[in-house]
Structure formats: structure tokens, C-alpha cells
Structure 1
Amino acid sequence: MSQPVELTREILRGMPLPQPEPDAGSKDARGGVLVVAGSRELPGAALLAATAVLRAGAGRLRVATGRSLALALGLAMPEAMVIGLPETARGGLRPGAGRLLTSHAAACQSLLIGPGLNGDAGTRDVLRTLLTAHPDKPVILDAGALTDLGAQRSILEKRSAPVLLTPHAGEMARLLGRDRSAIEEDPLAAAREAAQAFRATVIMKGARTHVVSPQGEAWLHEGGHVGLATSGSGDVLAGILAGLLARGAEAAAAALWGVHLHGEAGCRLAEEEGPLGFLARDLPAQIPRLMAELD
């Protein structure tokens, strides 16, 4: 099996991001995203991911979260349409919530499911319903949406649109039924196995991030920063990916651009604020400038 290609700026410039026409006055020209995220224990994940969606250039944003969180999220994120979903007593999504989102998903160009979700029956219901109802919508599956993904493999096989998976080592271990130590020993092999098994573009997160396409193409990104290993950082990456897909980027381009922008944002903050201690909420504001520099 060939070695991964080092991700460079030259590679990114060879796959430029889609740009709206200069006179495009409609938000729809930049695409819309539905984010399904957040729980009572992790409400901020929805805000982090949603902010990153818009900072990556998407034009419209819908965020679905638990009903008890919806008002606060709407006030914190006035740019978004917020959809309150029925909750369980523990603050997760109640089974049946998925059918409330099918019309919202139809109006969007990409879907993001998982940041801050706890992977319970309600999450599985949303995942199964949206994957089945919208096989033509690119989707990013993150965090809680990865918990029981093996049960959705038959649905993934029937999809026509790209699927992006964003596991860290612990999540990948659960996806493949392995020990975490085995994943950490050879993350590229794990990413290749998952990409083939789930017919997905896999972003194997870590100090060295591997990106593998369903066809086995592989890239390696080593340009991040240790400060990115902080709570909420993965939610921001997932939001960037969703925003780029909504704009019309192909799956591999969205994955590579997203990983690079996320890593560069960490490097910029390390220079400005210090190597440790910057927050995930600081990352999205760096994204527009970084895109402009490369575009």
C-alpha cells in the first residue's frame, strides 16, 4: 500500500474552493447546512460547530438541538434558524426526532450530525432517518454519530452522496472493534480500513492527521499545533467541513481544506496568544483570513 501524500498548500491550490459569483446576492448561492448537535451535558458543541459552518463560508444555517437548549442557542447564534427537538429526561434526543428534520435537511446542501450528542437511541434515530431520507446529501458524522455506525452500514452502502467520518483514536477503536492502542500504533491502516468498510472519506484525527478517501487515496497533515488538543476543537473542525461541503466542495477537497484550515488556525493562535491556553471558540474567527490567503 502506497504511503500517504504530504498535504501542502500547493495541493490545496490545485483543488480551489467553489466561489459564488461576484454579483450573487442570495445566501443560497453559498449553500445551507443543517447541524444536529448538542445535549444537556454538552450544549456548547452545537454553538462551536455552527459558528465554524458560517466562518467557512456557508450562506444559511439551521441548527437542531434539544428543546431545553434551543432558546439559549438562538440568542447566542442569532444568524441561525434553531429547531428545538424533543428530549429524554437525561437531556438527549428522544427517538422520533429524526422525522421532524427531514424537511429541514431537504432545504440544505450538507448535513452535520453528532457534535455533543451522546450516541443514545435518539441519536441513532436521527442518523438512520436522515441517512435514509436524504441519500443525495453530503453528510459529516462526528462524535455521537459514530457510536453505533456499524448498524447503519447497509444504509451507507446505498448512499449516492459523500460521507465524511471524523474519529479520534478512541472513536476509531469502537468503530472497528479494536483496542485503542492498536489504532494509535497504525492510524493510517485504521483509516484505510474504515474508509473501505463505510465507503467514506475518513479524517483520522491526531497530532498527525490522516485523510483517506473511499478509493484508498491517502494524505498526511502534520501542520497542526499541540494547542488544538483542547475541548471543542473537533466540533470546530466538523463545522468547517460542513460549511465547505455546502459551498460545493468535493469530499476530498473539503476534508483536506478543512484539516489544513483547522491546523493553521491553531498555529496562528499559538503565535498570537501562546502555545497553550487558547480556546476552541477562538478558532473559527481565523478561518476567513486563512481561506483568503490561499484563494
Structure 2
Amino acid sequence: MTIAITADTLRGLPLPDSGNGSKEARGSALVIAGSVEVPGAAILAGTAALRAGAGKLQMSIAAGTAPHAALAVPEALVVRLPDGEDGHVDHRVAAEVLLPRTERAAAILIGAGMASGEPTRALTAALLTGPAQAPFVLDAASIDGLCAQAEAVRARGGQVVLTPHAGEMARCLGCDRDAVEADPLGAARKAAEILGAVVVMKGAETWIVDPAGETWHYAGGGAGLATSGSGDVLAGLIVGLLARGTTPAAAAAWGVFLHGEAGRRLAQTCGPIGFLARELAGEVPGLMRDVADAVF
């Protein structure tokens, strides 16, 4: 059975109560993202995490771009990661810096805007096998070749959410992109089974599959969402929801819905294409308010 993701569906998956209203009660999101060439990914994802209701935000980004990110998101604590070669951070030193911070985070995002290659894969593996108890969101470069280190993901006990597009899914599974595009749901099911993770298979329509095989479907928020940085916003929304204490599958469903419906709203006010990824997150608090019975 496939569950359609709608406002009615989400009323059955209410967001956690914000408790006494303190920022600590809504959790700290740790966003490890961006690179020298794509520093904006950390800004987009971090801002989205706050708009989804995370109480605190830490952004870890290459040292050369960290001051700019700190000015762009003054609400965040920004952690400088040592610059390496070809846009990568030095993964060994980065792991030493980040591992203690993962222990204090309520949810962790890795990969948005990071350079593809072995350094990002090695950093992802180091953090997944580290002492953190928090759930992870793996996006973009952190998904490459992930099925080859499935044991590290499975050891997380279903507390990992993947957000691949077709190309990233193909690199994860080691197959052709055409095969993923021909059967995105089948690819999502295969990855969820291998990794024991929640898989958000992005595209014109979005499929979500959890480790038990339960499936959700979102019909899509419009062509305008196919724009640079849109996926970074989605990953940030999911990590923000996880930081609040939302379960991985529910955070994925809420994140996909909020992302898609933000696109619909902007299509109405701005036009069907041409709105910017940076504008999506601003629609999110109102959307959460408008879904009846959602606690924000």
C-alpha cells in the first residue's frame, strides 16, 4: 500500500510539541555542507533547518567560506573546517573537529554542496561510525557509493534518511541513471532494503520508502522546484524536523510536503518557474501553521 502525502496524511503524523518554548527543547541541527565552490548549500540547508523549527543551528563549512556563511546566517554557530584540495575539506582533521559536536547534536546533515569523491565518503563513514546518537540526513556527495558501506548505515537502526536524485541514487546503487529514472520506486525500495534507511527518491514526483518497506508518494510541487539549491533546502527541512524529535519517516514526509507546497505557493505568487531556492524556506512556517493540528 502506498500512502499519498497530503495535509490530511500529516494530521496523523503531528509534529512534536515544542515543550516550554525554549530553543533547547526544539533541538540543535548540525549542518555539515558546502564547499569552496558551493558555499551557498550550507546557507540554504541551515536556514531551512531553522525555518522547520530547529531551536539551534551549527553549520560546518570550509574555512575559506565560513566568515561569509556566518554573515549570511547570523543565527548560526559556524565551525570552520580545514580546506583541502579540489574543493574538499581535509577529512581527517574535519572528523576530529566534528565528532565531539555530533555527540551534542539532535540531528545531523552531511553532504549538501560538498565535493564528490573519497574525502567526502571518508568523512561520512567516520561520522556514521562515530559516537553520535542523533539521526542523520545524507544528501548529495555523502550518498555516493554508500551501498558499499551499508553496514555503517544499517548499524544506525533506521535513524538515517537519504535524499538522492536519480544520478545520486545510481551512484549509490552502482547502476545506470536510466535504470533509476525508469523505476524510481524500485530503486528507492532496493536502497532502503540494503541500507536499512528511509529513502527519499526525489524527482518530478517523490517516493519515500522506510526500512520496513512502507511507501509514501508526493505528486510534486511543480516545475519551479527543479532549480539550483532546491534539494539543499529539502535536506535542511528534514534535519530541522529531526532535530525537533520527529521520527525519520515522518520528518521525510513532512519535509517533502513542506518543500513541495512552498513551491506551489511561490508558483502562484511569483510564477511557475523562476522563483529561487532561497525563497522556499520562508513559506514553511506558514505552511506548518496552516496544516490543522500541527504543533509548531
Task: Tell me if both proteins adopt one fold, taking TM over 0.5 as the criterion.
Answer: yes
**Whole-angstrom CA distance in 1 between matches of 2:96 and 2:119:** 11
Residue correspondence of structure 1 range 131-150 to structure 2 within 5 A: 131-134=128-131, 136-150=133-147
Deviates more, 1:6-15 or 1:266-275: 6-15
- 1:220-254 per-residue CA deviation (whole Å, 9 max, x = no partner) reads 10041110000000000000000000000011110
- 1:175-223 per-residue CA deviation (whole Å, 9 max, x = no partner) reads 1121111111111111000000111000000011000001000011004
Residue correspondence of structure 1 range 141-180 to structure 2 within 5 A: 141-160=138-157, 162-180=159-177
Question: 3-state SS of the aligned residue for 1:269?
Answer: helix
**Whole-angstrom CA distance in 2 between matches of 1:95 and 1:32:** 23
**Identity across the alignment (%):** 51
Q: 1:135 Cα deviation (Å)?
A: 5.1
- 1:98-133 per-residue CA deviation (whole Å, 9 max, x = no partner) reads 121011111110000000011233312321121111
Q: Work out the number of aligned pairs and report it.
A: 291
- 1:151-180 per-residue CA deviation (whole Å, 9 max, x = no partner) reads 321211222351000111111111112111
- Counterpart of 1:124 (choices 121, 134, 137) is 121
**Whole-angstrom CA distance in 1 between matches of 2:158 and 2:167:** 26
Alignment correspondent of 1:232: 229
- Counterpart of 1:269 (choices 266, 269, 278) is 266
One-letter amino acid matched to 2:7: R
One-letter amino acid matched to 2:119: G
- 1:138-157 per-residue CA deviation (whole Å, 9 max, x = no partner) reads 00000010113133212112
**C-alpha contact (below 8 Å) 1:236/1:284 kept by paired residues:** yes
Gaps of 5+ in 2: none
* Alignment TM-score, normalising by the size of structure 2: 0.95
Runs of 4 or more, structure 1, over 2 Å off, are 119-122
- Counterpart of 1:215 (choices 206, 209, 212) is 212
Alignment correspondent of 2:91: 95
Q: 1:270 Cα deviation (Å)?
A: 0.3
- Counterpart of 1:291 (choices 288, 291, 295) is 288
Asked whether 1:57 is paired with 2:47, we answer no
Alignment correspondent of 1:19: 17
- Counterpart of 1:68 (choices 64, 67, 70) is 64
Asked whether 1:35 is paired with 2:31, we answer yes
Alignment correspondent of 1:10: 8
